[in-house]
């Protein structure tokens, strides 16, 4: 592949151990086996110590993680965790990430789980490695382990004795199960965790080095593209292959059923040929999307799997009144600025794929089923992608590249989707309807709460053991159908993520109406159903507060039992200088020619992760309906902070993304497919619409680290919605809050 292609080197530590060293290793293994603690889930799934940390004979310290860098700074945080537990300077560590030939299988880097699960596993493994190496030195010198210290990977003893990690590793074997009883360094003794170590991935990106998969140019590479059908349900009838292969620059045309791929010498030649082939081929169209109905009508009227998934009976109490409201969200896209890309080679019956997919191992499984290959013959190596999160086109384009590479063995094939292709053919975030109902007592407090959600799937990612969730596999002559569709179960949930109330209502009920038939392919958009469930619930509680005539913050605190949530709420209103007052429905807060309002929203993401409260101030032009964000504030608590600046990046970035979702983003479709294929038809927020943001962190080093990557989207959308309610006195029930919808609410 040449020097420009990412490579991974295998390492073996301690294979040349002598008899004395082996004896030490046996004693250490015996101690490790005496206790059988449960240990972190990722270590139970991946128990080999050398799949997490390796010490090479030449002194390199290698740490490995199955988690991948998506721009969230996770590899910087993993470096800090490993460095802290190993007592090594972070810069000395060599980090390997997301390679099916090297790293542990940690599934998908998603759901704000990297630090909570992957970080804890890596920490215990590194703590075990450090203890093993220090014990080896102690037994060699005949001293107590407590008498030794470690400075940057060098074990130091009384009298100036020194032993490097490499020397200690030659006395023991790290090729064994992790000792799950290994003790992490106590938080008060840490010097690296809790500091804002600069992001290790940023310099190479700033200085234009080859970081992104889009930049890879191995020797002999050819370019691929796929001739897409004119409709999702369309199938190929006929194609003049001779004509297609004579198009300028085309090296080969690959046809397998309705899959048509083009291999060309240049990228523009491949894309041009693919477009011309689509136009020239004869296709048979399928049935229309939604059968001519609107998406919300479809969700509410078509057969769905209805289940009550959470309930809590309330004591019998007379309700003074009942409040009911319904909220809607349209389809939303990942809209990645860097469209999906993959690189593949097929040689001697083995396939290597470079991909920015979030799950190298799940992708390998689906590639194996789609290509009908042995997974052992496939290697997936993660390479960073520009603008990659959620289930966008990264997995699909990997199969496109693999199909073309298999048709031309020995040549690297690069497939880079166009932006239009990304928008039309990636999985979209599901449209949703949420209906809420509250029984309110005479004092305005809530006695019972009902939450119904109608939704399409929120995860059709690769990773199941049957079927193939890669789009091109469905178009082959011998197609591989997708995996069975299921809704994610609580506590994490999928369509019902964050539908279980965070408030202490006596009566609770959550019901899902889940559609397994997808007229438009849907899957994981950041937070799954969590964003919209949280937005709807927080809009609804503001409406209940308005009915009760109570300040929205005080109303929330009245119903909260979780003091960690109370703390972030109090901090957010403190830094925003919140002015207590009830929201007045039906009357706006006019300031000159504008309506100005401030709103609050909060969540505990997935009811188990980061606690986030957001306050937003907006102004609304009553003549045009345009909403302008004036400022946003956030307070976050996520247990022990690994990298405070990294948490701020994630929280503030999520606030910007949620502002875009809430005010701008919505997909449109025609009879055959999604037609929002560019930033004119599907606008996203730009720099001049991003307001000042102030965020603070409540660090709790005494508590386990919690996920933060998806913690701020829900409360931000809610804060914006409630600020509009405060400004206008009117509820806007459908996201995004376009000027047309705001005007309609004002005129209602």
As for how many domains the chain has, the answer is 3
Angle at 637 between CA 634 and CA 640, to 5 degrees: 140
Residues listed for the chain: 748
Contacts of 3 (CB under 8 A, 6+ apart): none
**What H or E segment, with its residue span, contains residue 312?**
strand 305-312
pTM of the entire predicted model: 0.93
605 and 700 in a single domain? The answer is yes
Tokens representing 416?
């880079």
680 and 700 assigned to the same domain: yes
Mean pLDDT of the chain: 93
Mean pLDDT computed over 103-119: 94
pLDDT score for 36:
59
Name the one residue in this structure whose structure tokens are 């991974």. 8
Asked if 566 and 600 touch (Cβ cutoff 8 Å), the reply is no
Q: For residue 275, is the peptide bond before it cis, meaning its omega torsion is within 30 degrees of 0?
A: no
Look at residues 425, 451, 470 and tell me which one is the last residue of a structural domain. Answer: 425
Provide the pLDDT confidence category of residue 226 given band limits of 50, 70 and 90.
very high
Within a domain: residue 316? no
- Distance from C-alpha of 332 to C-alpha of 528, rounded to nearest angstrom: 11
- Residue among 110, 25, 10 nearest 64 (CA): 10
- Contact of 543 with 664, CB cutoff 8 Å: no
3-class secondary-structure state, position 350: strand
Asked whether residue 94 falls in the same domain as residue 218, the answer is no
pLDDT beyond 70 at 66: yes
Q: How do strand 321-329 and strand 341-347 relate by DSSP bridges? A: unpaired
Residue 474 is assigned to a structural domain of this protein: no
Whether residue 741 sits in one domain with residue 702: yes
**H or E stretch at 415:** strand 413-416
In a domain, residue 91? The reply is yes
User: CATH number for the domain including 98?
Assistant: 3.30.365.10
Task: Determine the Cα–Cα distance for residues 65 and 102; give it in Å rounded to an integer.
Answer: 9
- Compute the average pLDDT of residues 418-425: 96
Is 61 inside any structural domain?
yes
What are residue 310's phi and psi, to 5 degrees? -155, 135
Looking at the structure, tell me whether residues 702 and 639 fall in a common domain: yes
Residue 662: pLDDT over 80? yes
Q: Judge if 194 and 227 occupy the same domain.
A: no
Tokens for 310?
């959470």
Do residue 421 and residue 527 come from a single domain? no
Which residues sit opposite 628 in a β-bridge? 619
Residue that is last in its domain, among 375, 407, 425: 425
Tell me, yes or no, whether 300 lies in a domain.
Answer: no
pLDDT in tens, 476-505: 999 999 999 999 999 999 999 999 999 999
Query: Has residue 113 been placed in a domain?
Result: yes
Same domain, 618 and 719: yes
Looking at the structure, do residues 201 and 266 belong to the same domain, yes or no? no
Which of 172, 206, 240 corresponds to the end of one domain?
206
Q: Which domain holds residue 388?
A: 213-286+334-425
What proportion of the chain, given as a percentage, has pLDDT over 90? 88
Residue 593, pLDDT above cutoff 90:
no
Residue 92 predicted with pLDDT over 70: yes
How many Å is the Cα radius of gyration of the chain? 28
| Burial (CB count <10 Å: 0-12, 13-18, 19+), residue 326 | middle
For residues 395 and 444, membership in a common domain is answered with no
Confidence grade of residue 61 (pLDDT, cut at 50, 70, 90) = very high
Residues ≥6 apart with Cβ < 8 Å to 683 = 664, 665
* Sign (positive or negative) of CA dihedral 660, 661, 663, 669: positive
Question: Sheet holding 93-97: strands in order across?
Answer: 53-55, 61-65, 93-97
Say yes or no: 575 and 716 in one domain: yes
Sign of the Cα pseudo-torsion (652, 655, 660, 661, in order): positive
Task: Say yes or no: 420 and 444 in one domain.
Answer: no
- The answer to whether position 291 is within a domain reads no
**pLDDT, tens digit (0-9, with 9 covering 90-100), for 542-591:** 999 999 999 999 999 999 999 999 999 999 999 999 999 998 888 777 77
């Amino acid at each position: 592949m040449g020097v420009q292609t990412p490579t991974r080197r295998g390492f073996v530590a301690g294979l040349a151990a002598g008899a004395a060293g082996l004896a030490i290793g046996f004693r250490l293994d015996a101690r490790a086996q005496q206790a059988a603690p449960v240990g972190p889930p990722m270590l139970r799934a991946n128990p080999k110590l050398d799949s997490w940390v390796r010490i090479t004979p030449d002194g390199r310290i290698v740490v490995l993680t199955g988690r991948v860098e998506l721009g969230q700074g996770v590899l910087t945080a993993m470096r800090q965790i490993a460095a802290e537990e190993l007592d090594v300077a972070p810069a000395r560590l060599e980090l390997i990430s997301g390679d099916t030939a090297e790293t542990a299988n940690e599934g998908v880097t998603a759901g704000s789980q990297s630090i909570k699960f992957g970080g804890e596993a890596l920490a215990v493994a590194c703590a075990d490695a450090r203890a093993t190496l220090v014990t080896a030195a102690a037994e060699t010198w005949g001293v107590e382990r407590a008498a030794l210290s470690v400075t940057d990977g060098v074990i130091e003893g009384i009298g100036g004795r020194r032993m490097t990690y490499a020397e200690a590793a030659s006395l023991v074997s790290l090729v064994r199960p992790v000792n799950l009883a290994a003790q992490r360094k106590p938080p008060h003794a840490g010097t690296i965790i809790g500091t804002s170590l600069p992001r290790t991935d940023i310099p190479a990106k700033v200085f234009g080095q080859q970081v992104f998969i889009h930049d890879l140019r191995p020797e002999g590479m050819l370019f691929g593209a796929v001739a897409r059908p004119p409709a999702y349900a369309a199938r190929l009838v006929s194609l003049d292959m001779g004509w297609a292969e004579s198009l300028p620059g085309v090296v080969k045309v690959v046809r397998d059923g309705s899959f048509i791929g083009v291999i060309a010498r240049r990228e523009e030649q491949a894309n041009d040929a693919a477009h011309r082939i689509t136009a020239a081929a004869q296709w048979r169209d399928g049935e229309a999307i939604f059968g001519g109905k609107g998406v919300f009508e479809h969700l509410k009227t078509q057969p769905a799997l209805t289940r009550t998934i959470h309930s809590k009976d309330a004591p019998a109490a007379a309700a003074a009144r009942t409040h009911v409201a319904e909220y809607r969200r349209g389809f939303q896209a990942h809209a990645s600025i860097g469209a999906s890309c993959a690189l593949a080679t097929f040689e001697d019956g083995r396939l290597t794929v470079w991909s920015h997919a979030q799950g190298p191992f799940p992708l390998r499984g689906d590639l194996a089923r789609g290509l009908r290959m042995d997974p052992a013959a496939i290697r997936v190596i993660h390479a960073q992608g520009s603008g990659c999160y959620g289930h966008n086109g990264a997995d699909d384009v990997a199969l496109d590249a693999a199909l073309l590479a298999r048709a031309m063995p020995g040549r690297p094939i690069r497939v880079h989707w166009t932006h239009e292709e990304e928008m039309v053919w990636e999985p979209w975030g599901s449209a949703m309807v949420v209906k809420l109902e509250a029984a309110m007592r005479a004092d305005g407090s809530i006695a019972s709460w009902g939450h119904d959600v109608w939704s399409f799937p929120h995860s059709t990612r690769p990773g199941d053991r049957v079927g193939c969730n890669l789009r091109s596999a469905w178009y082959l002559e011998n197609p591989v159908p997708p995996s069975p569709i299921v809704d994610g179960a609580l506590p994490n949930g999928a369509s019902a993520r964050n539908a279980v109330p965070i408030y202490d209502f006596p009566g609770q009920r959550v019901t899902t109406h889940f559609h397994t038939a997808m007229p438009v392919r849907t899957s994981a958009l950041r937070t799954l159903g969590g964003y919209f469930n949280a937005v709807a619930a927080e809009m609804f509680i503001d409406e209940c507060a308005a009915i009760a005539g109570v300040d929205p913050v005080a109303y929330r605190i009245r119903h909260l039992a979780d003091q960690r949530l109370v703390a972030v709420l109090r901090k957010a209103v403190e830094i925003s200088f919140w002015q207590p007052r009830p929201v007045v429905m039906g009357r706006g807060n006019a300031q000159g020619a504008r309506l100005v309002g401030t709103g609050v929203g909060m969540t505990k993401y997935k009811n188990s992760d980061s606690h986030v409260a957001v306050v937003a101030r907006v102004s609304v032009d009553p003549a045009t309906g345009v909403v302008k964000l004036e400022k946003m504030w956030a307070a976050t608590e996520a247990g022990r902070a690994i990298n405070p600046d990294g948490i701020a990046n994630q929280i503030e970035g999520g606030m910007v993304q949620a502002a875009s979702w809430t005010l701008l983003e919505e997909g449109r479709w025609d009879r055959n497919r999604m037609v929002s294929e560019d930033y004119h038809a599907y606008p996203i927020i730009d720099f001049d619409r991003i307001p000042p943001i102030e965020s603070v962190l409540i660090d709790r080093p005494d508590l386990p680290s919690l996920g933060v990557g998806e913690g701020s989207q829900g409360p931000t959308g809610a804060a914006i919605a409630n600020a509009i309610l405060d400004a206008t006195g009117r509820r806007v029930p459908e996201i995004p809050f376009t000027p047309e919808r705001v005007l309609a609410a004002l005129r209602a």
